[in-house]
């Protein structure tokens, strides 16, 4: 079966995948969006449902999200200092995409796990 050759310009070089706000394998950005969709939260509040994330990784994730215009960071001149994060309208716009991915995962996770198990079993054979 012959296929048409792939178009060498099928991916826009002006928009590399590294510019995407949610990179494949970046599980934290989507989770932070879900944590913030109900309103502004403090750093320590975000760590509760994101128990496996280190403070350093959470801080880096929030900085990247702020850089991309997905969250705003508000620092209050208090003692001790207080910082809150809130989704921007751009950040809120990701919720539909994230919900679609969660729905796909719910529907297809058993098949995906079965495929992984079959692959691993085949790889173990000589």
Within a domain: 115: yes
Instruction: Give me the CATH number covering residue 74.
Output: 1.10.10.10
pLDDT of residue 56: 95
Q: What's the domain range around 62?
A: 17-124
Q: What angle do CA 73, 45, 24 make, to 5 degrees?
A: 70
Distance CA 30, CA 62 (A): 11
Q: How confident is the model over 27-48, as pLDDT tens digits?
A: 799 999 999 999 999 999 999 9
Q: Contact at 8 Å (CB) between 62 and 86?
A: no
Within a domain: 64: yes
Distance CA 41, CA 74 (A): 10
Which residue, among 93, 101, 91, 103, has the nearest Cα to 24 in the 3D structure? 101
Does residue 12 carry a pLDDT above 70? no
Within a domain: 3: no
pTM, rounded to two decimals: 0.76
Within a domain: 8: no
Q: How confident is the model over 66-101, as pLDDT tens digits?
A: 998 999 999 999 898 899 999 999 999 999 988 898
The total domain count for the chain is 1
Q: Kindly state the tokens that stand for 101.
A: 């991915």
């Amino acid at each position: 079966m012959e296929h048409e050759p792939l178009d060498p310009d099928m991916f826009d070089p002006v928009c590399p995948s590294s510019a995407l706000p949610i990179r494949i394998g970046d599980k934290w950005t989507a989770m932070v969006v879900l944590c913030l969709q109900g309103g502004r939260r403090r750093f320590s509040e975000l760590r509760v449902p994101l128990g496996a994330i280190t403070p350093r990784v959470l801080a880096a994730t929030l900085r990247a999200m702020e850089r991309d215009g997905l969250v705003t960071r508000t620092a209050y001149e208090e003692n001790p200092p207080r910082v809150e994060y809130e989704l921007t309208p751009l950040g809120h716009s990701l919720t539909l995409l994230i919900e679609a991915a969660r729905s796909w995962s719910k529907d297809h996770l058993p098949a995906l796990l079965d495929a992984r198990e079959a692959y691993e079993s085949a790889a173990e054979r000589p």
